[in-house]
Amino acid sequence: MAIVLVANQYGKAKVRLLHVSRDETTHVITDLSVSVALSGELTATHLSGDNTAVLTTDAQKNAVFAFAKEHGVSEIEDFALLLARHFVASQPSISFARVTMEQYPWERLAGHSFARSGREVRTATVSHDGQQSWVVSGLHGLTVLNTAGSEFWGFAKDRYTTLTETTDRILATAVSARWRHASPAASANCWGDSYRAARDLMLEAFADTHSYSLQQTLFAMGKRVLDGRPEIAEIRLSLPNKHHFEVDMTPFGLENDGEVFYAADRPYGLIEGTVTRDDAPPSGRSW
Amino acid sequence: MAIVLVANQYGKAKVRLLHVSRDETTHVITDLSVSVALSGELTATHLSGDNTAVLTTDAQKNAVFAFAKEHGVSEIEDFALLLARHFVASQPSISFARVTMEQYPWERLAGHSFARSGREVRTATVSHDGQQSWVVSGLHGLTVLNTAGSEFWGFAKDRYTTLTETTDRILATAVSARWRHASPAASANCWGDSYRAARDLMLEAFADTHSYSLQQTLFAMGKRVLDGRPEIAEIRLSLPNKHHFEVDMTPFGLENDGEVFYAADRPYGLIEGTVTRDDAPPSGRSW
Amino acid sequence: MAIVLVANQYGKAKVRLLHVSRDETTHVITDLSVSVALSGELTATHLSGDNTAVLTTDAQKNAVFAFAKEHGVSEIEDFALLLARHFVASQPSISFARVTMEQYPWERLAGHSFARSGREVRTATVSHDGQQSWVVSGLHGLTVLNTAGSEFWGFAKDRYTTLTETTDRILATAVSARWRHASPAASANCWGDSYRAARDLMLEAFADTHSYSLQQTLFAMGKRVLDGRPEIAEIRLSLPNKHHFEVDMTPFGLENDGEVFYAADRPYGLIEGTVTRDDAPPSGRSW
Amino acid sequence: MAIVLVANQYGKAKVRLLHVSRDETTHVITDLSVSVALSGELTATHLSGDNTAVLTTDAQKNAVFAFAKEHGVSEIEDFALLLARHFVASQPSISFARVTMEQYPWERLAGHSFARSGREVRTATVSHDGQQSWVVSGLHGLTVLNTAGSEFWGFAKDRYTTLTETTDRILATAVSARWRHASPAASANCWGDSYRAARDLMLEAFADTHSYSLQQTLFAMGKRVLDGRPEIAEIRLSLPNKHHFEVDMTPFGLENDGEVFYAADRPYGLIEGTVTRDDAPPSGRSW
């Protein structure tokens, strides 16, 4: 019996980069958190502390900044592809790179003045093995709520089931979603359009699906994206059920007719699912 | 020498309330966190555990929910006034109430569907002593950034000063502001308009002030609000200086011409100031 | 009518400093977050952006680091006194300084190896006006819980009161406390002893007070500190009532005899009070 | 081409449970956050909102509380096994359950009085497919720091490498670790001992490994656990490199000889690796 190192990766996490494009009379800003994870032939540093093969995480951070200067930052998928390919191409020891981006949204107030828009954070994860690249786009923090069109009844009952069936409840969630592009090449010129369309399709499906369960809403959201966007092969959704409980006012002699709710923190439901095409290309090392 | 109880208060904090108004064909939602703090003749519970004078914090929570049902929730200042007056009027032992509200913004996606808008949180703090009420409105979490029009030079130098003077820097902050109304009665029908105008005036001043220091921007923001809104007597601003450092790229043979910045977390500058009218009415127990 | 600047202050917040004392064969580490707030004749920077009187927050940060090197860091009250006096003494425009420290606790694992101990954070706030200094010590994040010896009954009832009286409940809180030293000179050689004693006295009082209300426990904790520590003139406590609700198991045919509780996040009670001596010296600019 | 649902799971997350064992003269408390995720034949709820097969997340929460009452809570691995097996055994539609526990540590102050000890959170994840169970134990939040015995040099240099080599640096991390038991049956009577031993072995290896890279320390920690604990088949470690930068004091005419460090928040290094035995049993559905 021997004790062995198996899967391993390392890198710099959460490089906070603000890029200002001054090419135009009105500046454009891009606000990112970039994380890099590299793997390859790194046994020596683990076993003996021989760092010959280790590109420092400090140099990875510097590369993020330098690439922003040299190539600009437009779509995060493109910027992540550039970086991931660079690390594998330039370091003999590195055979696989994963670069993850979070983009924080801002809106313009006036010429050179901006306000952070607190809605969703856009994400991208690019994986590259020296030959092939995989691109996953996504978002998180998109909190949505329906005050109508949500029911929940007909569920299984066991000894511990006390929940009342309802034909009218608040449905609220904070959408986390990630979707895999069928081909980075095919999506290459439409990252931004694809992102906005996918987000809007999810919002539409959330809003117009008459829901009998959050699972049903999840599938409807995923299906809507795949129906509408041929470049997307698969989507993974994680939807917390942010419970809003109708306050019982009978002790005060009042009737609460769906007007006053208590928003609970914990526990919460958590519904997760993957929706894909049956002829989707293999996911490879996307995830 | 004796050991004595002096200032004290108690209450329920962070009651998370969602109110749905169904009076219209399209629902209206109000999403609040309500905190209550009461004070008065409460020595007995502190000294001997005699709770005769104690209105439970649980009952305070229930009152928040019940008042939302009975009176609806429109402007948070009005809702806080109702609650603060109720606690003092209904409890002989309670001589002073302070009710604080946070309102989380949502935007409508479609008929009965909403998305949380991540920008600023609106706040209100109402204080009431049985006779008089004081109203402070405000906001926090309004993150703004200028890519032009900000300089910083001519400052004092001591042994520990190493900062380089600059005529072009990123200026970024997350605005926290609270402003005192001269008279709750005079503002009574315009809470919402007043709030939106004050916020917009601060944003305008942030955007169009050519800044030589964040202090100057702070004063300009406060002055703009007072100039434009006669109902507001005083404003207190707390502005973290969210540093964005230009990355030095000379080691890589690159010139960073104001394009690539590192957004730092800590430490940060913190600039705080109060702007008022010299003939403002006394603040009483506003703060 | 004129619009005027009144109270204002500025400084660097949350300078994260780790100091390693290597004087001994076993290293000693001190892990701090230091915040500085300065005020004085700073009208010019606010009104016109003339920064002649402004010591940069960057230089303040540098001073924190340099003082740690030049003077070492032992008790946080001493370190804060040194810094506060320095800023006022060395800058003609600065007439008042407040330096706040948080100290994160670590325990030694072995010779030069340490583990962060997650219990309370020790704090100190020193204020200095050029002539006089005021010292407030404190802590936060000390979470404690009693499973016995806590009752709550005999409280006022109103229309909204539904809480059941109890003679046996869980009492849990996260202690935040700050206490004012009667004289910095008198406490000068015992900051550490005083801190540990005050903390231990609060814990003792929490543990051995048979409680009829959290207010009673608060007063007992404050009184115990003042009874035991003559150098402390006043103590302010802020105690969230971290509710633990007994789960109703009758729907499952079980009896929950004080065994299973649900720990709630929000809302929570918040009990705040100040305990002092009736002959305490005036608090001046302590708070 | 069809759009299909593939992997999916649902459940209640973060049920906050405090269990008080009153069997003894001194109470024993167990403070948990329990999350349940179930999967199985759940297509109907996703596709049509037919909830016949859905055990509500509310009932899952109730089961957590009820099982705490009926079976008590001693070791979290045992409690998770009970729950995971229950959900699969009692629900025809559920073929797989994963139950995750976080246990928050408390220490006794006196008879029935406790203080939360802020060190690591203990974790357990149990997976069960109706026939077999897999147990992963772990911890997170164990923050450790060495002031000696850490070097970093001899690393690869590229165009973006500016880091200086060092033979004496601060090494700090917050350990997240999860380890897989070779056999739940074999570990069944020693969960607590195994946990404490694994934690202590990691701490020992962190403290006594002369480190040339955090990767080397990671492997040493993993190997130490496997060497010392035959019941553990595999361990996965995630170690952020919490950078402490020596402050350059030459601008102030001071020499910083490893005494004063700036603790950075972001970015940070992130080192992740898996250490296993070459004859370990297959991991099945452990992870």
pLDDT, one tens digit per residue, over A50-60 is 999 999 999 99
Average pLDDT over residues D52-81: 97
Closest residue in A to D37 (Cα–Cα): A270
Question: How much is the pLDDT for A285?
Answer: 98
Chain D residues with CB-CB distance to C175 below 8 A? none
CA of C107, closest CA in chain B: separation in Å? 25
Chain A residues with CB-CB distance to B244 below 8 A? 18
- Rounded to the nearest 10°, the torsion over CA C81, C84, C88, C91 is 130
Give residue-wise pLDDT tens across range B17-40: 999 998 767 899 999 999 999 999
Catalytic residue among D12, D61, D128, D242: D12
Catalytic residue among D57, D140, D223, D276: D57
pLDDT of D23 > 90? The answer is no
CA of D218, closest CA in chain C: separation in Å? 15
Distance CA(A105)–CA(A113), nearest Å, equals 14
Question: How much is the pLDDT for C1?
Answer: 81
Take residue C16 and report the two structure tokens written for it.
């994260």
Q: For residue C152, which of B56, A88, B251 has the smallest C-alpha distance?
A: B56
- Helix, strand, coil share (%) of chain A residues, nearest 5: 25, 40, 35
Question: How much is the pLDDT for A55?
Answer: 98
Closest residue in D to C30 (Cα–Cα): D260
pTM: 0.97
- Which of A20, A67, A120 would you mutate first to test chain B, the one with the most B CBs within 10 A? A20
Question: How much is the pLDDT for B118?
Answer: 78
Is the model more confident about C228 or about D24? C228
Distance CA(A181)–CA(A136), nearest Å, equals 6
> Where residue C26 falls among pLDDT bands split at 50, 70, 90?
confident
Question: How much is the pLDDT for B117?
Answer: 92
Does the annotation mark A12 as catalytic?
yes
- Contact D213/A163, CB-based, under 8 Å? no
Residue C86 exposure: Cα atoms within 13 Å on the Cβ side: 22
Residue-averaged pLDDT of chain B: 97
CB D42 within 8 A of CB D95: no
Average pLDDT over residues D217-236: 98
Q: For residue C233, which of B3, B9, B47 has the smallest C-alpha distance?
A: B3
Catalytic residue among B12, B86, B181, B242: B12
Instruction: Please give the distance of CA A78 from its chain centroid, rounded to a whole number.
Output: 16
From the list B56, B157, B216, the residue facing C161 with the nearest CB is B56
Residue-averaged pLDDT of chain C: 97
> Where residue C119 falls among pLDDT bands split at 50, 70, 90?
confident
Distance CA(A220)–CA(A171), nearest Å, equals 14
Residue-averaged pLDDT of chain D: 97
CA of D266, closest CA in chain B: separation in Å? 7
Does the annotation mark D57 as catalytic?
yes
Query: For a pLDDT cut of 90, what percent of chain D falls above it?
Result: 97
Take residue D143 and report the two structure tokens written for it.
């923050």
Give residue-wise pLDDT tens across range B174-206: 999 999 999 999 999 999 999 999 999 999 999
Average pLDDT over residues C86-108: 98
Closest residue in B to D265 (Cα–Cα): B265
Catalytic residue among A45, A57, A274, A276: A57
Question: How much is the pLDDT for C25?
Answer: 79
> Which secondary-structure segment (H or E) carries B205?
helix B191-208
Distance CA(C139)–CA(C177), nearest Å, equals 6
**Chains in contact with chain A (at least 3 beta-carbon pairs closer than 8 A):** B, C, D
Find tokens 């003792």 and name the residue.
Answer: C204
Chain D residues with CB-CB distance to C240 below 8 A? none
Question: How much is the pLDDT for A26?
Answer: 85
pLDDT of B3 > 80? The answer is yes
- Contact D66/C110, CB-based, under 8 Å? no
> Where residue A24 falls among pLDDT bands split at 50, 70, 90?
low
| Sequence letter at residue C286 | S
Domains and CATH numbers, chain B: 9-129 (3.10.270.10), 132-287 (3.10.270.10)
Question: How much is the pLDDT for A118?
Answer: 78
> Where residue D24 falls among pLDDT bands split at 50, 70, 90?
low
- Which of D65, D202, D246 would you mutate first to test chain C, the one with the most C CBs within 10 A? D65
From the list C162, C251, C266, the residue facing A162 with the nearest CB is C251
Question: How much is the pLDDT for D160?
Answer: 98
Does the annotation mark B157 as catalytic?
no
Find tokens 């919402």 and name the residue.
Answer: B192
Take residue A69 and report the two structure tokens written for it.
């200067």
pLDDT of D6 > 90? The answer is yes
> Which secondary-structure segment (H or E) carries B193?
helix B191-208
Question: How much is the pLDDT for B24?
Answer: 66
Closest residue in A to D64 (Cα–Cα): A160
Give residue-wise pLDDT tens across range C190-209: 999 999 999 999 999 999 99
CB C171 within 8 A of CB C211: yes
Say which residues have a Cβ less than 8 Å from residue B156's Cβ, sequence separation at least 6: C51, C52, C53, C54, C55, C56, C91, C93
- Contact A147/B114, CB-based, under 8 Å? yes
From the list B162, B252, B265, the residue facing D266 with the nearest CB is B265
Residue A174 exposure: Cα atoms within 13 Å on the Cβ side: 15
Chain C residues with CB-CB distance to D15 below 8 A? 262
- Does the beta carbon of B267 lie under 8 angstroms from any beta carbon of chain D? no
- Contact D159/B252, CB-based, under 8 Å? yes
Closest residue in D to B263 (Cα–Cα): D266
- Does the beta carbon of C3 lie under 8 angstroms from any beta carbon of chain B? yes
- Does the beta carbon of C48 lie under 8 angstroms from any beta carbon of chain A? no
Average pLDDT over residues D190-200: 98
CA of C273, closest CA in chain D: separation in Å? 22
User: Residues of A numbered 49-108 whose beta carbons fall under 8 angstroms of chain D's beta carbons: which are they?
Assistant: 49-63, 66, 90-91, 93
Closest residue in C to B214 (Cα–Cα): C46
Phi, psi of A71 (to 5 degrees): -115, -5
pLDDT of C123 > 90? The answer is yes
- Does the beta carbon of C247 lie under 8 angstroms from any beta carbon of chain D? yes
User: Residues of C numbered 136-175 whose beta carbons fall under 8 angstroms of chain D's beta carbons: which are they?
Assistant: 141-149, 170
Give residue-wise pLDDT tens across range A147-204: 999 999 999 999 999 999 999 999 999 999 999 999 999 999 999 999 999 999 999 9
Question: How much is the pLDDT for A33?
Answer: 98
Question: How much is the pLDDT for C24?
Answer: 66
> Where residue B95 falls among pLDDT bands split at 50, 70, 90?
very high
